[in-house]
Structure 1
Amino acid sequence: MKKALLLLPIVLLFFGFWAYQYQVAEGINTIKITDKQKGICWVGSPRPLEGWELDSLRHLGITHISQTPFGWQSDPKSPGIRWERDSEKMWWGESLEGVKVTTDLGREKGVESILKPHLWVRGQWPGAISMQSEEDWTTWFGEYSEFIMYYAKYAQEHQIPVLCIGTELELTSKREADWRKIISEIRAVYKGEITYAANFTEYEQIEFWDALDYIGIQAYFPLSEKSNPNLQTLVKSWNKKIKEIEKVQKRFQKPVLFTEIGYCNTIDASVEPWVWPNERKDVALSEEMQALCYQAFFETAWKMDWLAGAYFWKWYPQPRDRQPDFTPQNKLAQEVMRSFYAGEN
């Protein structure tokens, strides 16, 4: 008995390391987050970091970064997947060596990392991945299992607290049994928390949220029909989206994590937030519109008890002067983010 009592603090400390704090109110069964993840999506550097690149993060109130190693799929209808195991031709920051160094540097500065592997599909987005036969589906899920287990084992070895097991794989997530099998395999080797990053058009249809720790959403919700809306319009749209999210959250009784959220610095940022900057080159720039979109999010969804955190797309190790772009770095949106992340609002 004495030995068991001596081990109790160690056990509690271990579980405390893994668990992001949330509570279920007794009788009401409502989740209340006590420590939100104040995140940004870190862009893997093509070359090794010098060490100063993460210095500003804590000043801005950032507590977490998501790191994204890639796998590659040549065609959305072909089941073959390649990743670091198969090629050395990749950016340093997207390799496990780079992920480890970035994680260690972040922890020295009080910033934790989560791991969020993506599939890069040539000429398409991952939501287009769909096989043409049951045989190909079996092959694809076998390949994907090897891919994600590679990173799950790494995450366990290096005590990464959250692993995202897939991102925007919209046409695959309908295959519930296949995903539950992958989740079971991951749980066998990884003891941290897991989520899946569902596209904003996808999350309501997923049936395996009960097997995960967070309902992950790529929160690129359209917030207006026209460019340059006012704050009132954006807030009204967010309040409508919140009600839709809450239906799923209440059904599964899981906290929600915005695995990505972001807006370009253009006047149409709120119309189709997911549109890539290269497709906005003829659109007028507007730091003010980008900042207003940030403000609307923080005044609404950020305040929800069930929201475990958000990760803004995206953050460069070395700031770039690319126009237009999603990053809030050195823009008005950065100050909005800082004021809420640092607890001033």
Structure 2
Amino acid sequence: MLFPSHALAPAARGTLSIARYGIGAALTAAGLLAASASLAATGMAARAGNPASNLCSPAHRGFDLVQDKHVALGSLQAHASLQALRDTGANTVAIVPLLRQSRPDTPDVDRSLDMSDGELAHFIRQAHKLGLQAVVDPRIQVSDGRPDDVRMGSDRDWAAWFHHYEQALVGLAAVAADEHAQALVIGTDLDQTLSRPEWTALIARLRRVYPGRLIYAAQGAAGAQRVPFWNKLDAVGVTLQPVLDAAGGPASWRAALAGERKHLLALARQTGRPIFVAELGFSAGPNPAAQADSHAMPPPSIDATVQSRALSTWLAELSNPAIRTVLVWRWNQAEQNGGFIAQDKKIAQAMTRRWRSCSRAPAVW
């Protein structure tokens, strides 16, 4: 089941992580990079190509999956959920361990909310046995804020924050290396950290531990344009939450994503890196102007049929050789009564109709 929406209304801003990563969350993973040479074709929209191949674009497609506190990753229920994810035609799953930070301005990052190394290793192995490619995508859950609020008050605190963050990532990177995960996301939506010089040493340390693809996921194209270290990574990662105008239709939904697409393709050409959409979800409002607050929680009136149609429209909009990975937020391992989970499975069924005829052969990373 999907949970495309992940944001809170401004009044509940401090608990965003619960809505985005919390109970019942599931990991998203989508494929990763293409060789730089393939980026010569980025100026051509895939819509102009073979319609059948467009349905199977991007090469790495799937969902984000976060551990459900009610469903152990080693359980039969979790395995059945992973099989159902695979049966949509997805070929990638992103496993999302949660890191804890007590406040945006404290450097106490730790793995106290995280799954164990054994659970992570087991789930990567299960994904591989099912023919899925696995991405390890750790994310910070800030108790009184969001990841983009993380900001230290002094260089000393920044050094401490990066030390603790590195310790958490290195442990996860070691598991990813041992289990041959296809990619490791080293940070998501950490906007106010991007200018810090500590990123250079952190990336170098992770390279020594993990030999696979390293990715950072910025907030949309605007955030991606501010990242100074793309040349040290293997893909340009982004999270995308276009506004979903429930009263609109495909034309308005395409328009909500058109600007992002244009800027991301330009960035792919500029950096020589493929695009990795670590999260495709949505926020919603009565009209496109509502995107001024991209963290507004969609009203329950947006039903699963509209959600599934919008996601299909956005996947078509993102069909381009430069966009190698798209992961949909998010896949849940158990039925839930709250939030925006498609309990009638219409969203999962829409993805199945789109992807079921696609080759299950692993795409080249």
TM-score range, shorter chain: 0.7 to 0.9
| CA deviation after TM superposition for structure 1 residue 227, in Å | 4.3
Q: Tell me which residue corresponds to 1:185.
A: 205
Q: Tell me which residue corresponds to 1:63.
A: 91
SS state at 2:242 partner: coil
Give matches, 1:65-214, under 5 Å: 65-83=93-111, 87=112, 90=113, 94-175=115-196, 177-200=197-220, 201-214=222-235
Equivalent residue in structure 1 for 2:310, among 278, 283, 293: 293
Distance 2:321 2:348 in 1: 23
Distance 2:145 2:58 in 1: 36
Once structures 1 and 2 are overlaid, which stretch shifts more, 71-80 or 292-301? 292-301
Structure 1: runs of 5+ lacking an equivalent: 1-18
Equivalent residue in structure 2 for 1:317, among 333, 340, 343: 333
Q: Among the aligned pairs, what percent are the same residue?
A: 19
Aligned partner letter, 1:22: A
Q: Tell me which residue corresponds to 2:352.
A: 338
Quickly say closer, same or farther: Cα 1:328–1:31, change in 2 above 3 A.
farther
Question: Does 2:57 align with 1:40?
Answer: no
Do the aligned residues in 1 keep the contact of 2:33 with 2:276 (CA within 8 Å)?
Answer: no
Distance 1:38 1:205 in 2: 26
Do the aligned residues in 2 keep the contact of 1:71 with 1:118 (CA within 8 Å)?
Answer: yes
Give matches, 1:183-262, under 5 Å: 183-200=203-220, 201-222=222-243, 227-262=246-281
Distance 1:295 1:27 in 2: 24
Do the aligned residues in 2 keep the contact of 1:268 with 1:283 (CA within 8 Å)?
Answer: no
Q: TM-score under structure 1 normalisation?
A: 0.80
Aligned partner letter, 2:210: Y
SS state at 1:202 partner: helix
Quickly say closer, same or farther: Cα 1:80–1:27, change in 2 above 3 A.
closer
SS state at 2:166 partner: helix
| CA deviation after TM superposition for structure 1 residue 204, in Å | 1.4
Quickly say closer, same or farther: Cα 1:293–1:269, change in 2 above 3 A.
farther
Aligned partner letter, 2:83: D
Deviations 1:67-107 (A, max 9, x none): 11121111111112121xxx4xx47xx32222222222222
Quickly say closer, same or farther: Cα 1:275–1:117, change in 2 above 3 A.
same
Q: Tell me which residue corresponds to 2:34.
A: 22
Deviations 1:97-127 (A, max 9, x none): 2222222222222122210111111121111
* Greater relative contact order structure (CA < 8 Å, 6+ sep): 2
Equivalent residue in structure 2 for 1:306, among 317, 322, 335: 322
| CA deviation after TM superposition for structure 1 residue 24, in Å | 3.8
| CA deviation after TM superposition for structure 1 residue 268, in Å | 5.4
Distance 2:80 2:171 in 1: 29
Deviations 1:170-206 (A, max 9, x none): 100122x221211111111110001011111411111
| CA deviation after TM superposition for structure 1 residue 274, in Å | 5.3
Do the aligned residues in 1 keep the contact of 2:63 with 2:90 (CA within 8 Å)?
Answer: yes
Larger Rg: 1
Equivalent residues, number: 309
Do the aligned residues in 1 keep the contact of 2:105 with 2:153 (CA within 8 Å)?
Answer: yes
Quickly say closer, same or farther: Cα 1:162–1:109, change in 2 above 3 A.
same
**RMSD of Structure 2 on Structure 1 (CA):** 2.8
Distance 1:55 1:269 in 2: 37
Distance 2:125 2:333 in 1: 15
SS state at 1:166 partner: strand
Aligned partner letter, 1:298: L
